[in-house]
Amino acid sequence: MRTFFLLTTVLGLLAIAQPQGRGPDGPSQPANAAPVGRGGTPAGPAYNAQSDRTVTFRFRAPSATLVQLSGDFADNPQTMTKGDDGFWTTTIGPLRPALYTYVFLVDGVRALDPASSMVATADRSPGSSMFEVKGSVAAPYSPQNVPHGSVHINYYSSAKFGHAVRMVYVYTPPGYESNRDKYPVLYLLHGAAGTESSWVTAGRANVIMDNLIAAGRAKPMIVVMPYGRPGESPAMDPFVPPLEPVQNPTGVNAFPNDVVEDVLPFVEKTYRITGKPDDRAIAGLSMGGNQSLQIGLNHLDLFHSIGAFSPVIYNRTVERDQEAALSDPNAMNKKLEVFALYVGDQDSLLDSNKSYHLLLEVKKIKHTFTVSGEGHVWRNWRDYLADFVPKLFR
């Protein structure tokens, strides 16, 4: 049955991708054919970022009745205007210099930019296309002429999740392959809609690390990026059904993972890592931020640095969930080298993060709490990573 479904899916995609079809009135073009690039030619991405930081999008869909532009730059999809030439256009901005995500909605069907290879991967969808509004200086995530590290893709068997074969992405800093040094390590966790590749494709964590290390702002370190949900990753097998939400005894959603049981021993056996708690950090965004708090604060014998970027916080159960650490603030303060929380002032999780921050203050637990602009978006999480990493292993 799977083979039949896969065959029919592939044949359907091939039919859609044909350069020319024939309708009742003669030859016709598919709805998503030939976007127009920066130069107005049928090549290159379907957007043009101007010097005033506005961005114009053009998408050819002559048979469509409605085309919308959706992305993390706006709360709601923006309806595009159809021209006589079959191209739909719209202009957004001005936007602050950053990387943004976007997709087109063609008569309700979600479509990536077919002429762009900049794609942010996601858990159970094709992800989103990306565009950049450049600033006057190079951004932390912009590739620069500096020494570059490597990104390795590793496979391991997860005993916690029924020996499922899973992937973990591992960044090694420049010079790792040419020496025998041991390095500190950061475990970096994705959000609910991400995968083990998201911090590379959407977050550009490897580029951020290259730039920080080259500038002398961060110590050379290894960065481990695992898959954060139970079972096999859809990147391994797209037919794996999503698991039902896991809840703790109070009925609140939990985010089970195998970082401590499987990922940590596998990675620290495979790579040259010091293995000292002072040289081990954990951080993550949204769901991964919640996991970082749960793992880090309940395993202070393993992690002495914790970062939470727009973390999911269940204030009703947080004191019980983190009882091992919160019940003894003095011991916690002695062990933690870095404890940093970040959230945007337009993030839907702002209030729960503020409440958690106040709880930590009442308990006199040393930490930093940074409120930036904007909301629950990758451009914030890249900035948070670039701010957090230089604090580590000093």
**C-alpha distances in angstroms, 310 versus 36, 105, 344?**
36, 28, 7
pLDDT at 9: 37
d(CA 311, CA 178): 37
pLDDT at 324: 87
Encode pLDDT of 56-68 as tens digits: 999 999 999 999 9
What are φ and ψ of residue 104, in 5° steps? Answer: -105, 145
pLDDT at 199: 98
Q: For residue 122, how many C-alpha atoms fall within 13 Å in the half-sphere facing its CB?
A: 14
Q: How far is CA 294 from the centre of its chain?
A: 19
Contacts of 371 (CB under 8 A, 6+ apart): 342, 343, 344, 345, 350
CA 305-308-313 angle, to 5 degrees, is 125
* Mean pLDDT estimate for the chain: 88
pLDDT at 34: 39
Q: Are 185 and 222 in contact (CB under 8 A)?
A: yes
Nearest Cα to Cα of residue 225 among 299, 282, 183, 307: 282
d(CA 126, CA 120): 8
pLDDT at 235: 79
Q: Are 54 and 94 in contact (CB under 8 A)?
A: yes
382: burial class by Cβ within 10 Å (0-12, 13-18, 19+)? Answer: buried
Low-confidence ranges of the chain (pLDDT < 50): 1-42
